Structure 1
């Protein structure tokens, strides 16, 4: 079951299972509570989650206001977890700006988001926070999980850094200002066991294999800010592949649209089930809003029982000795 809240000025639009076009269900100048969903009674053995899409800019207060509004929408839709995209709190317009605003996790920026979670009694997945690094010239690209009491439950520093030099095209070297993480992180939660990643990690399936088969993940979190070109070519394909090969739900919150004159993100926030089916998606790839779906634990168990790949995997020693 999935539906979407698509935020436009003063409106909320719902996408139901038999969606044939946008349907405005309310239009007010203040936040609107949304409870009506096709088949709204919660499925047994399931929990409702949401993924946000936004266009962050180089204004901490403006981004916080957007996040605050989306938290209220998710809580009104009965979601217990809301996942934000990479760089949710800030996207720099000039080189070096991200380092200037980077803060420790007990700084005022993260404290504000902890308050959001506590006030709305909702868990938050905050992907890609600019955490102050070990020196003045580096930060950490940190995925922070906050519980519904406003406590930081876990953090993960992005492991794979985006260093690209395309001949005649873009040059981007994340490692020049970012410290790479070294630890794989999986966390128990009311939404199952969460595998925590960030953006470019998506291109490295071995990380997700580790999360599923060595760390028992059931839901994979992939906050991202994919470029327009790479997103159009690979975003959905890679996400569905990670869901299928791990038999996990994938929640992929995305940045969308033009952040400034130099940077544009692909968008297309998705929630994907363990069979690889898209069960949550905004009707507009570039809109600001949320999509909502139910994590069905019985579906995870069913897919894994009917396709028992965990039993058929070869140990590392096999591949070291195999000759083809």
Structure 2
């Protein structure tokens, strides 16, 4: 990152084809402390080994560029042709597949957000769509299971996620990470602003939205939803996304994006697979926006109630 002419210059990177994009936003303060967040864009398949290798490569590269927290997209480890395919690959979080990603976090000494993992569910007919945060020691810090399941009839087809996926029951914030207090969501959750108000209202500086949007909904809604959630909650929104054709029945929109609390896009990818975008997260900037537009003080909780408190996991390193 460079300071030039009153702007912060950020980069996004691709392994193939070569890709460089310069993005900018006004500098609020040259003296604030910030940490780098990377969002990764993938074209996952039904080959879990291939998927792990591309994640491994991009996480390694992002870590070398200084990322302390890296978010992978929904279904980073597997995308099949049908929802039933997910049942066949589901594993517990202490199983061999997820353990490899924990080892990757420890090897690269980074935080990993791993969303859309196909976790074994409450019965043989259902899995959980699980978003896990792992620390640089490879320890599981937080587990969020997707609350809102994608049962829709859209241009890309009729989808019923609830046929094979059990919904979660709890909102989650991880506090005291290098990039601040982090709210966890997944994909379709972005359409439910109440969830984001609860997370931001209870201290989230950044809300992660790892996703696998379909092309039709992505083209019409993706950017609007992400920027709206950032503006109305005065938080960073970071959305790592799946991209491209996964198989004959499934494609994803891509366009991974990081939006700042003012609603400005400070990091964005396009339609190419195997990329990552690196941006600085400034908690003082979050607070400055909330001071300038103190909407949280103006809420009419007497009319529509206070935001429900999520589970807040306060991180403490075992090393003290």
Residue aligned with 1:15, SS: strand
* Pairwise CA distance, 1:229: 0.1
Change (3 A) 1:43 1:263: farther
In the alignment, which of 5, 10, 20 is matched to residue 14 of structure 1? 20
Whole-angstrom distance in 1 between the partners of 2:85 and 2:97:
15
Whole-angstrom distance in 2 between the partners of 1:110 and 1:151:
11
Whole-angstrom distance in 1 between the partners of 2:284 and 2:97:
38
Change (3 A) 1:233 1:68: same
Question: Which runs of structure 1 show a deviation greater than 4 angstroms over 4 or more consecutive aligned residues?
Answer: none
Match of 2:313 in 1: none
**Deviation string for 1:186-221 (max 9, x for gaps)?**
1111211001000000000000001111x2111000
Residue aligned with 1:119, SS: helix
Match of 1:24 in 2: none
Whether the 8 Å CA contact 1:224–1:252 is kept in 2: the answer is: yes
Whether the 8 Å CA contact 1:43–1:296 is kept in 2: the answer is: no
Q: TM-score, normalised by structure 1?
A: 0.87
The number of aligned residues is 292
* Pairwise CA distance, 1:17: 4.3
Give yes or no for the alignment of 1:141 onto 2:129: yes
Whole-angstrom distance in 1 between the partners of 2:23 and 2:185:
29
* Pairwise CA distance, 1:225: 0.3
Q: TM-score, normalised by structure 2?
A: 0.88
Give yes or no for the alignment of 1:280 onto 2:286: no
Give yes or no for the alignment of 1:64 onto 2:52: yes
Match of 1:306 in 2: 292
Give yes or no for the alignment of 1:244 onto 2:250: no
Output the aligned Cα RMSD.
1.7
Task: Return 90-99 or 50-59, whichever deviates more.
Answer: 90-99
Listed as ranges, the matches of 1:127-206 within 5 Å are: 127-166=115-154, 170-188=157-175, 189-206=177-194
Structure 2 unaligned spans of 5+? 1-7, 306-320
Match of 1:35 in 2: none
Whether the 8 Å CA contact 2:156–2:214 is kept in 1: the answer is: no
**Deviation string for 1:270-292 (max 9, x for gaps)?**
0110000011112x323321000
Match of 1:266 in 2: 253
Match of 2:203 in 1: 216
Match of 1:318 in 2: 303
Residue aligned with 1:259, SS: strand
Whether the 8 Å CA contact 1:82–1:125 is kept in 2: the answer is: yes
Whole-angstrom distance in 2 between the partners of 1:128 and 1:286:
21
Whole-angstrom distance in 2 between the partners of 1:44 and 1:318:
37
**Deviation string for 1:207-255 (max 9, x for gaps)?**
0001111x21110000000000000000010000000001000110000
